[in-house]
Structure 1
Amino acid sequence: MRRMIFLSLVLASSVAARALGAAPGAAPGAPAPNPLPVPPEIVAPLTEAQVRAAGIETQPVEPEAGVGEIVVPGVVTVPPQQLRIVAAPAAGLVETLLVAPDEDVKEGDPIATLKSSDLVESQRAFLHALSEANLASEKLRRDEQLFKEKIIAERRLIVTRAEAAQARAALDERAQILALAGMTDGEISGLRKERKLASSLLVRAPIGGTILQRHGTTGERVQASAPLVTIARLDPIWVNLQVPLSRAVALDSVEKVHLPSAGLEGRLIRVGHTVDSATQSVTAVAEFRPGRSPLRPGQAVQAILRVRGGGASQWRVPADAVVSHRNYNWVFLRVPEGFRAVPVTLVSETPQYASVQGALKAGEKVATRGLLTLLAELAEIESK
């Protein structure tokens, strides 16, 4: 019902838009730096006969305290710090992919095997650097002995020491290249001892988690850094919530976030500072501990934000009584002369009821049906 009123109001005359568009607004979590002035009270005079003819119905305002609710859509996503893309450490041929999508893996588990000529070349260069380092070390040992016997000058010993240090640095560099290519410390130590080149490389999981996607295929030739699989740790998990801008003021008062479909309760950890221009909504992030609950990345869910009551007077009205226009919220209050438009702050909302803050009193009645007639009356009054 409220959505139909909103669309009709957008199509109403520009005069009516001026009458309702000057209400003060608030940015998420903080008051607007330059608030607009509150518009003067606008009363639409209607007789009882006109009210009945227009089908206008009213319901009383009820005082409210405690916790309200906001129902919003959301999408399950993986926290970025828990996501890893396992890439090919060297160019080569994908011999086997050892995991499948949705499979759970532990840190260090085999992911794929690669046959790589680049790996062979890196091992050859390492063995060459190892021979050079051993030769330089032996030369240094000999020159130190000769210097003790005063057979050679100190200058020659200094040069020999520098050559040995350079050879050790070159060996360390080659060892780091092998580590970047995916070889473990044990495999590098085995190469150092046995001097046997390996043409295949085993790619292992860098973290424990779930395989979300396989990028490569068996028998495919890939370049270095080409993605093979995506791994994600799914506990905790995030839900990106789309909160309408008109309700974003209540996000600072959210106590818990509930997912009815999964039976989970989480907490709000982040509120966006920007607004989606297409949906006029703010993105808020909630964190959950799913355990064995079947929450999956990309899954669309409905979340209930439980909002604690603020210090200001808070009222409960039917959800259809609140009209949204240009990010402001209004109710039409029954007065002896007819109806008065009252700006309110929407704290929370369910399909049946809305919790608002504004200049209302317990027992006063607000319009719940026939609001289009009231909007037309306001436009006519303003145009005079």
Structure 2
Amino acid sequence: MNIQKFQHLAVIVGLAGALLASVARAAEDVSIPLREQDIQAAGIETKPVEKSSGSDELVVPGTVTVPPQQLRMVAAPAAGLVETLLVSPDEEVKAGDPIATLKSSELIEAQRAFLQAAADAALANEKLRRDEQLYKERIIAERRLLVTRAEAAQARSLLDERGQLLALDGMSEQAIESLRKERKMGAALTVRAPMAGVILARHATVGDRVMASAPLVTIARLDPIWVNLQIPIGRAAGLDRTDKVVLPTLGVEGRLIRIGRTADPATQSITAVAEFSPGKSPIRPGQAVQAILRIKGTGGTLWRVPADAVVHHRDKDWVFLRAADGFRAVPVNLVSETPQYASIQGPLAVADQVATRGMLTLLAELAAKDPSAK
């Protein structure tokens, strides 16, 4: 007897749940009665919905850019005259390749100061050697030896400082050592590439007089390379499920590495960054591209409808389903969209027909029945 009561109770609960779901759906849906002649007069056309696969696509524009950590600005190490520029834009260079030559009076002054410091250091070392010998013979006091040692240490520090300044001026260790031995100064300075890459731009011309740290060229390493994607803010919800990013016109695939947290107030879009390894593909910084984001499914049923079938009203996305007395406006969740198709989630069925033309008439009817608009 008790078992029969539980069975009856389960049936009642099931019927109640179905009734509540039906009431909730009816509360969300909006009925739009239309006669057949009115539908034809408004030019309303319908197409069947299709069950979508487990993934979908989002087509967005993007701009190719160089990752900031792969950019290097090569500047003039000292003030001087640009005598030659040895590279051109789009030219590949290796680390250590000569880029430009400068004539610099500052370099001559830095070399003179270095040679003076080298002479002072040599004199201090000789004085230290002599005082150490005199101290061993007990001719001088220990205090004098300590002073001489301090003077020699200071001279060595000054020589090291002058050598580092020459290195900052662009002289190699070999050139600095040659200067110390031969004591032959030169005004010519060769600027070399700090890394391998491609010359993106030249910022100086032959004959320019430049200050120290003035930019000469920009070098970039172009593998990997980034594409800044402009994503409409309404389509940003599913970006974390992006499986891969494709540049169809260039034939390369990459991955999404960053999703922006701020929106552009003018375009109401966010910037997402995709990374690609271009290989032999001609991807160029500054190039405008079209990217396809392959997005994995959310786990629920996805429906594929023509993009024109989805309308936006009162902060919701809607489709209009054909009904016996006209149409029924149904709120849906827009998962992704391409220029041709949209993937949505909602209470749809395979046999449903959605309106694809004459949307203004249906949208006006939906607005007229919206209680919040009154």
TM-based fold match above 0.5: yes
Counterpart in 2 of 1:179? 167
Counterpart in 2 of 1:44? 32
C-alpha separation in 2, matches of 1:318 and 1:370: 14
Could you list the runs of 5+ residues in structure 1 that have no partner in the other structure? Answer: 1-38
C-alpha separation in 2, matches of 1:328 and 1:75: 30
For residue 330 of structure 2, the aligned residue among 342, 355, 369 is: 342
Contact 1:246 1:329 in 2 (8 A): no
Contact 1:56 1:367 in 2 (8 A): yes
Cα shift readout 1:178-207 (whole Å, capped 9, x = no counterpart): 111111111111111111111010000111
For residue 142 of structure 1, the aligned residue among 130, 142, 152 is: 130
* TM-score, normalised with respect to structure 1: 0.86
C-alpha separation in 1, matches of 2:145 and 2:316: 84
For residue 254 of structure 1, the aligned residue among 224, 242, 246 is: 242
Pair 1:99 & 2:58 matched: no
C-alpha separation in 2, matches of 1:146 and 1:344: 98
For residue 355 of structure 1, the aligned residue among 343, 350, 356 is: 343
Q: Deviation of residue 163 (structure 1)? A: 1.4
Instruction: Give the letter for the 2:238 counterpart.
Output: A
Contact 2:46 2:354 in 1 (8 A): yes
SS in structure 2 opposite 1:291?
coil
Q: Deviation of residue 306 (structure 1)? A: 1.0
C-alpha separation in 1, matches of 2:163 and 2:176: 7
C-alpha separation in 2, matches of 1:314 and 1:251: 16
Q: Deviation of residue 68 (structure 1)? A: 1.2
Structure number with bigger Rg: 2
For residue 293 of structure 1, the aligned residue among 281, 302, 311 is: 281
C-alpha separation in 2, matches of 1:343 and 1:163: 86
C-alpha separation in 2, matches of 1:296 and 1:198: 40
Q: 1:326 to 1:285 in 2, by over 3 A?
A: farther
Pair 1:284 & 2:267 matched: no
* Cα root mean square deviation, aligned: 1.7
Contact 1:42 1:378 in 2 (8 A): yes
Q: Deviation of residue 314 (structure 1)? A: 1.2
Q: 1:370 to 1:161 in 2, by over 3 A?
A: same
Q: 1:60 to 1:96 in 2, by over 3 A?
A: same
Counterpart in 1 of 2:41? 53
Of 316-325 and 194-203, more deviation after overlay is shown by 316-325
1:251-330 correspondence runs (5 A): 251-324=239-312, 328-330=316-318
Question: Percent same amino acid among aligned pairs?
Answer: 70
1:25-44 correspondence runs (5 A): 40-44=28-32
Of 218-227 and 328-337, more deviation after overlay is shown by 328-337
C-alpha separation in 2, matches of 1:379 and 1:314: 27
Instruction: Give the letter for the 1:102 counterpart.
Output: D
Cα shift readout 1:167-226 (whole Å, capped 9, x = no counterpart): 111111111111111111111111111111110100001111111111100011111111
1:220-231 correspondence runs (5 A): 220-231=208-219
C-alpha separation in 2, matches of 1:103 and 1:47: 70
Q: 1:328 to 1:351 in 2, by over 3 A?
A: same
Contact 1:307 1:347 in 2 (8 A): no
Could you list the runs of 5+ residues in structure 2 that have no partner in the other structure? Answer: 1-26
Counterpart in 2 of 1:75? 63
SS in structure 1 opposite 2:361?
helix
SS in structure 1 opposite 2:238?
helix
For residue 114 of structure 1, the aligned residue among 91, 95, 102 is: 102
Instruction: Give the letter for the 2:135 counterpart.
Output: F
Contact 1:65 1:314 in 2 (8 A): yes
Q: Deviation of residue 329 (structure 1)? A: 2.9
Instruction: Give the letter for the 2:44 counterpart.
Output: I
C-alpha separation in 1, matches of 2:274 and 2:296: 17
Pair 1:130 & 2:91 matched: no
SS in structure 1 opposite 2:369?
helix
Of 324-333 and 145-154, more deviation after overlay is shown by 324-333
Q: Deviation of residue 60 (structure 1)? A: 1.9
